[in-house]
Every structure is written in structure tokens, then in C-alpha cells.
Amino acid sequence: MPQTIHRGIKALVDEANAAIETLSAADAIKAAQSEDVVIVDIRDPRELERDGRVPGSFSCTRGMLEFWIDPASPYAKPIFQQDKKFIFYCAGGLRSALAAKAAQDMGLKPVAHIAGGYAAWREAGGPIEKWEPKKPKG
């Protein structure tokens, strides 16, 4: 018997977008110039390697986000303990909406995400850089 999904991805993303701040790519490009902003890339490392990234962005895969935000987690990252604005992006703006909503629900503030994600950032002329995975030591 097939599964019955009562709240699909469209509903989840719509709910997230209704509850969070969404920035245009142009506004995000301007905001990224501020020392009080952290741009968070939640894409998979394979996407980063293939497509590049926003210069200076902090890479946090979607699967680790909640663990890295929570200061009580053994995986907590100091970057998320700062008093800054966190702007999330993914490839097209769907995962980042969910990520920003989860972060906001946890108490991280202020948060936002980029409408249209990395694709919109590139189309708006935002700077990008090549990304290469860290090489193993030794």
C-alpha cells in the first residue's frame, strides 16, 4: 500500500516562506557586505564543488544544521553562537526556506533566506568562487 503524504513539500515550503524573511538576490548581495551578516550555504559538498559558492559563505549541510546551531549539542559550531544575521541559501531557494524556518524555530535570530538561492545570486551578478574540498592531511 502506498504512503499517503498529508503535508507535502509544497505546503512545507509555503509555510516556511510565510514565517521567515525572504531576501531578493540583490538585497542579499548588499547584505553580504556587512560584518554583521553570515551567509550560510546549506548545499551538499558535491554541489559546491560543481557550481562554486558565495565567497566567504559558511558551509553547513542541511542535515547538520540543527546540530550545529544548538549550543548544547556536541556538534555546535561557534559561528552560530554569534550575534549576527544569518542568511541561508541553497541551489534554488527551497531547502534554504526550510533551513531558515528550522533555525528560527530553534531561536536563532535574525534569519532570512535568498529567494531563488544560488541560481538567483549568480543571475543577479553576485560574486562567486570556485570551491575545492579539503584535502586529507598526510
Segment 50-109, tens digit of pLDDT = 999 999 999 999 999 999 999 999 999 999 999 999 999 999 999 999 999 999 999 999
Mean of pLDDT over the chain: 96
- Cα→Cα distances 40→14, 43, 103, 127, Å: 21, 9, 11, 15
The answer to whether the beta carbons of residues 132 and 48 sit under 8 Å apart is: no
Note the pLDDT of residue 14. 97
Note the pLDDT of residue 74. 97
Q: How confident is the model at residue 138 (pLDDT cuts 50, 70, 90)?
A: low
The answer to whether the beta carbons of residues 80 and 69 sit under 8 Å apart is: yes
Note the pLDDT of residue 45. 93
Note the pLDDT of residue 102. 98
C-alpha–C-alpha distance, residues 35 and 40, integer Å: 14
Note the pLDDT of residue 132. 79
Note the pLDDT of residue 135. 76
Instruction: Report the percent of the chain where pLDDT is more than 70.
Output: 99
C-alpha–C-alpha distance, residues 63 and 79, integer Å: 17
Integer-rounded Cα Rg, in Å, for the chain is 15
pLDDT at residue 15 tops 70: yes
Note the pLDDT of residue 127. 97
The answer to whether the beta carbons of residues 43 and 90 sit under 8 Å apart is: yes
pLDDT at residue 13 tops 90: yes
pTM listed for this prediction? 0.93
